[in-house]
Chain A
Amino acid sequence: MSGVRIGVDVGGTFTDVVLMDEKTAELSLTKVPSTPSNPSVGLLNGIDRILANTGHSIEAVRSIVHGTTVVTNLLLERNGSSTALITTRGFRDVLEIGRQRRPKLYDLFQDKPQILVPGRWRWEVSERMAYDGTVVQPLDEQEVVELARRAVSESVESIAVVLLHAYANPDHERRVAEIIKSVSPELHVSLSSEVSPEFREFERTSTTVANAYAMPRVARYMADVRRGLVERGSNVTFHVIQSNGGIATPEVVEGRPITTALSGPSGGVIGSAFTASLAGESELITLDMGGTSCDVSLITGGTPRMTAEGEIDGRPLRVRMVDIHTVGAGGGSIGWVDSGGALRVGPQSAGAMPGPACYGHGGTSATVTDANLLLGRIDPATFLGGRMKLDARAAAAAVDALARELQLDRETVALGVIRIAEASMLNAVRMVSLQRGYDPREFTLMAFGGAGPLHAATMARELGVPKVLVPLGSSALSALGCLVADIRHDFSVTRRFISDDIDLTALNKAYEELEAEGQDALARQAVPVESRVLRRHADMRYVGQAYEITVDLPPERIDDGAYADVLTRFHQEHERAYGHSAPGEPVEIVNVRLTALGPVSPPVVRQTVGHATPDASARLGEREVLFESGVRVTEVWRRELLRGGNVVAGPALIEAEDTSVLVPPGDVARIDEFGNVIIHINAEGELT
């Protein structure tokens, strides 16, 4: 009997499910409503639905991988568990003081991010480590016993333990955990030396506290999912996609839930990288434009760019995550006139309710979607596959109100709203590319989300990007990412090595220790020894700098020659990122990092190849669309009926249920053998 693999992305509104038949490599998709009060219900419903749709039984399921917003949402909505914090004596307020900065420079009425652990639950213990891990003051164990008892009596559910320099010597933190567990085994404990063993106490505290805050609810959620699967007769191991784009077992996630803070979006980026790799693309800028915002990320060499400096809601999280830059530009972004009389767009959004004026839910603000509708780029009759009729008159009224204020005509304002929204997305693209030393002209722009494919080609022209790729089934990209993600664990620890006095034995030992941890983690997930991949990286900087650049190291023992190569690579990376370097100066390693991978065999995707000329049935008709250059009669095509090899010249619109692709005049779209739409910018006459 052939097996199937299931990927599920639990979003805020919908749960997307992808099923792959391992024998036929056929992909099936479905969508069910999410159930935010208990997300496991939506997840299980989605699995039931896709099995019913495809006629497979639960026994056929070989693996389930899912992306979740449980942690993201509880951090944003601040409805995690009662959490206490134990620190070194004298430092309980580090969490509240933060880095001493106010979030905004000129706003007299701003707030700091709300603290997840109030003062009454921030406790100190007598102990102290020096920076090199030597014990300055031993741990007072009796104090810990009393705090653990207090936690129980005050109904605290979870405790974060963050002691100074615990990354250099975790003994005291581990002892604190043992004592807490001996007092009450039910208490959840998060140790900074396990969650984020890197120096800089505030960032480590913030990360560990967020982890502790999420832990009890994530454990309950995992238990719900597991129980639901068992009730359905499945004992398959399910996995969760982490912010680093790799997957982990529930046991791992229960201990470090914070690694799933960006689970959903990272699935999207991984799905993108996979889809693009099928189309032969490895250098990509991804543009995921939804209703309220647009996420931009960079993929180089087929690998999404990572960062260890992420944050959610103003709280730093020092865990490896896909580097996603978000701007407030989406289909629902509102156009408005500022006090100086200039037209602005966003970051305020009409959201889903009331939504753009054209949704007819009472919205009166002119949004990007309203502008697209008035310009003819969205068909009011076929939006969301015709399930939602759009009200063009409401859109016109909203845009007209803005036009009166600006003393401009309707069309100019509609074009203006779109150009300004595109400008803010362009700045985001420049930020993730140019600002990090990458030239966007060497990339392909990959556009998805409900609104992305309407704007991508225009933006590509502006950036000098030669190609746009709109993946097939772009709305389920995150779920697809779940199917293709590798098992992945990132390990790091602060260890300092200065180049003019490098102790290579100690450096190699530091990596060997991380590798033992990595082997261990992969073994627990039953990854066969021969397929395990361990990659070494180091955070490096010139002595005296405060920010680091992550440099890849060779996988084997580092000798003098290999180390010289590493230094050269650091100077090159510094030059690329910042435009200068100083090859004569001492360089230090401050953190050693290891990525442990257990590759998952990717699905085989079916290919179709047809003729350049699309089938006549795919042509829906034509309508007038307003471009910057004027009104053009534009052919409208139905995405589902286009076949691999088909070529469509702009101006054209390719409509799918979840999105529309705009092919401006002068550009040419080609459908590849996997069903992706590739738009070649300024390619008129070259492909047709």
Chain B
Amino acid sequence: MTTIDTVTTEVVHAALVSIAEEMMATLQRSAYSVVIREAADCSAALYDTSGQLIAQSESIPAHLGFAGGALRSTLANRYPLESLREGDSIIFNDPYAGGSHLPDIALFTPVFFEGRPVAFSVTVAHHLDVGGRSPGSIGNDVTEIYQEGVRLPPILFERDGELNDTLIALLRTNTRQPDKLLGDLRAQLAANKTGVRRIQELCRRHGADLVAAVAQDRLDYTERRLRNCIEEIPDGEYFAEGFLDEDGIDRDTKVWLRCTVKVSGSDMVFDFAGSSPQTAGPYNAVPAAICAAAYLITKCVTDPDIPQNEGAFRPVRIVTPPGSVVNPQFPAPCGARHFTVMRAADVILSAFAQALPGRIPAQSNAHTTAISISGVHPETCRYGVYFDLLGGPIGARPNKDGLDAVDDYVGNVMNVPVEAAEIEYPLQFTEYSLIPDSGGPGTHRGGLAFRRSYRITADGQSLTIRSDGEEHRPQGLEGGGSGTPGRKVLIRDGEPARLYQKETGFPLRDGDVISVDTPGSGGYGDPYRRPVELVLEDVANGKVSIQAAWESYGVRIDPDTLQVIERVSGAHE
């Protein structure tokens, strides 16, 4: 490369990344679905004409790279590049042709410059309802993908700038929330067109050939950077396993995720051999979804600043045995794949804890509890689906405490503000608080779980919960304790009773209170080595109880004066 090219490359690449970010901002801010706008369960990306990822927004890690397979299969099997024209956009969501799960709808828009295709502008967004068995398309008791909603093979959503009215009519009649679905698709299309315009401007400034050359150069550069990092990980095979409590149908059988990370030179293989067979319920994850977990953890343990493009995927291979929970066969349902992907990420990270001791945190909550409460609001007489995603926390790190009540690795969802929810839905929250002692004890304490409690203020509402982690406990590392498991309780007429963690369509009454505790996270290192002033501070701030200070940390504290009475040290040595 000539000397000027180094700089031009940096300049043009920065522009490509900022195009993806701008598309993402447009999409998220103008979306209707709470899952897109609050949970930010959407992403924007640029692909080259052969379906290689050029740049992706910093959005939800669950989407890392996954539209690539979908786009490549679309180009190979349905719409060859030469059949596409300016003003076309393709809609798609089929997990069995490269998608992830049905609510994630991808929109591909080819970018033309001076009459020839130069790139694809792509957005993927989780839509609020795509039909199927239950509101929000999140049923737990489904056994076939047909029960999970509308399945879209690649179809022209727009042709020559004209929207496909037939398809839109069909979509409208197959969702519980047609205005939201269409509003969000409009936001996606607008974001794609922003991407189209920006790429055209970039080509006008620098020439299409130069932009394409930079994109290719950056793939090599990214691969080189990642390989340099992988070289530093000791060669070897590192195994870890973890489980989901059950799959929503067979309540007695755990679903195991097993992964061997094989590091050799600058290559890594993530082999999921030994994982459970595909499940009857919707907790299956297609390979495109599982890959995101591998890409994500690779980035976390190597260099978090590595650009997001195809080059970051090249040194990594993912092996998913057909017929297993990480490579289900048609027509297995896969709507709840997020749980499987999150546990897979957790397992991969645990495997790296052996390869990179002292550089990996203890286990995190590693799932996101989804709550949907739907029905007609008595004041507005409108049908609504309230959707809430409860994530977090993150486990203790080798040098510091975990992060309390934040969503962990695969996701990064925002909560719905209590006041925003009460304005729109027949709900009155009674509690939103950190749970003391939920973080695994350790020299560094695990992040705390939280409780969110909802009082229902109308009859006729229906509850669906998608969650796990009531049996599974996030493990500590290097002598740290485990985090507490999650639980859900229904308080009806003052009587508390446990709720099934994968309840679908549970009928609620006016006055019911639903209380959800998320799981905690693991601690790191011997808790008896935690500095006594930190234990004292946690007690003063309500993060650790006086009882746990003594039982878990060996620090006896006077409840009246909050002074230390006794410190047992080295008890674990």
Contact = CB atoms under 8 A, between A and B. Distances in A.
Given A97-B434, A431-B18, A406 B392 contact: no
Given A104-B304, A579-B193, A580-B30, A119 B543 contact: yes
Interface in A101-125: 101-102, 104-112, 118-120
A582 B185 CA distance: 12
Contacts of A107: 300, 304
A201 B225 contact: no
Contacts of B423: 131, 199, 496
A73 interface: no
Interface string B417-443: 111101100001111111000000000
Contacts of B32: 542, 544-545
B255 interface: no
A462 B221 CA distance: 26
Contacts of A430: 18, 22
A580 B430 contact: no
A636 interface: no
B540 A109 contact: no
A624 interface: no
Contacts of A544: 32, 179-180, 183
Contact of A585 (B183, B225, B359, B418): B183
A607 interface: no
B73 interface: no
Interface string B278-308: 0000000000000000001001110111000
B413 interface: yes
B171 to A, nearest CB: 16
Contacts of A419: 7, 11
B37 A547 contact: yes
Contacts of B10: 342-344, 416, 420, 423
Interface in B37-52: 37-38
B542 A106 contact: no
B7 A91 contact: no
B314 interface: no
Interface stretch (B100-108, B267-275, B393-401): B393-401
B414 A100 contact: yes
Interface stretch (B147-155, B403-411, B479-487, B488-496): B403-411
B194 interface: yes
A100 B415 contact: yes
Contacts of B303: 339
Contacts of A98: 406
Interface in A57-113: 90-94, 96-102, 104-112
B77 interface: no
Interface string A386-430: 000000000000000000001011001001100110011001001
Given A91-B433, A119-B541, A106 B419 contact: no
B228 A339 contact: yes
Given A119-B540, A199-B419, A580-B186, A97 B432 contact: yes
A164 B61 CA distance: 33
Contacts of A203: 417
B4 interface: yes
Contacts of B420: 199-200, 546
Interface in A270-287: none
B26 interface: yes
Contacts of B194: 579
Nearest to B433: A93
A516 interface: no
Nearest to A415: B7
Interface in A341-392: 341-344
Interface string B1-41: 00110110111001100100010011001111010011000
B228 A97 contact: no
B153 to A, nearest CB: 25
Contact of A342 (B37, B221, B400, B434): B221
A412 B4 contact: yes
Nearest to A112: B403
Q: Which of B193, B299, B432, B453 has the most CB of A within 10 A?
A: B432
Contact of A90 (B22, B179, B361, B429): B429
Interface in A487-505: 496
Contact of A93 (B15, B183, B304, B432): B432
Nearest to B4: A412
Which among B34, B394, B407, B417 has the highest number of chain A CB atoms within 10 Å? B417
B58 interface: yes
Contacts of A109: 397, 399-400
Contacts of A545: 30-32, 37
A435 B305 CA distance: 24
B555 interface: no
B475 interface: no
Contact of A341 (B15, B224, B390, B403): B224
A131 B417 CA distance: 12
A496 to B, nearest CB: 6
Interface string A210-246: 0000000000000000000000000000000000000
A165 interface: yes
B218 to A, nearest CB: 9
A222 B118 CA distance: 60
B541 A90 contact: no
Contact of A202 (B400, B417, B428): B417
A427 B25 CA distance: 14
Contacts of A340: 221-222, 224-225, 228
B146 to A, nearest CB: 28
A635 to B, nearest CB: 27
B30 A574 contact: yes
B228 to A, nearest CB: 5
A320 to B, nearest CB: 19
A130 interface: yes
B180 A118 contact: no
Nearest to B395: A108
A338 interface: yes
Contacts of B386: none
B304 A97 contact: no
Given A90-B432, A545-B30, A580-B190, A406 B6 contact: yes
B430 A102 contact: no
A275 B7 CA distance: 35
B418 A164 contact: yes
A136 B455 CA distance: 13
B407 A91 contact: no
B419 A201 contact: yes
Contact of B9 (A101, A165, A342): A342
Contacts of A91: 418, 429, 431-433
A303 B434 CA distance: 44
Interface in A524-564: 542, 544-547
A119 B3 contact: no
A342 B433 contact: no
A165 B573 CA distance: 52
B450 interface: yes
20 contacts: A93-B405, A101-B413, A106-B296, A106-B304, A107-B300, A108-B397, A111-B403, A118-B537, A118-B541, A119-B434, A120-B540, A199-B420, A201-B417, A202-B417, A340-B225, A341-B224, A344-B10, A409-B3, A427-B18, A582-B186
Interface of B: 3-4, 6-7, 9-11, 14-15, 18, 22, 25-26, 29-32, 34, 37-38, 58, 61, 179-180, 183, 186-187, 189-191, 193-194, 198, 205, 221-222, 224-225, 228-229, 296, 299-301, 303-305, 359-361, 390-392, 394, 397, 399-400, 403-408, 412-415, 417-420, 422-423, 428-434, 450, 453, 537, 540-543
User: Which 7 residue pairs are nearest across A and B when measured between Cβ atoms?
Assistant: A119-B541, A340-B225, A106-B304, A579-B190, A90-B431, A416-B7, A578-B30
Given A200-B417, A342-B6, 19 more contacts: A91-B429, A97-B450, A100-B406, A105-B61, A108-B301, A108-B360, A110-B403, A112-B403, A201-B419, A338-B305, A340-B222, A341-B221, A342-B9, A408-B6, A420-B11, A427-B14, A546-B34, A546-B37, A546-B38
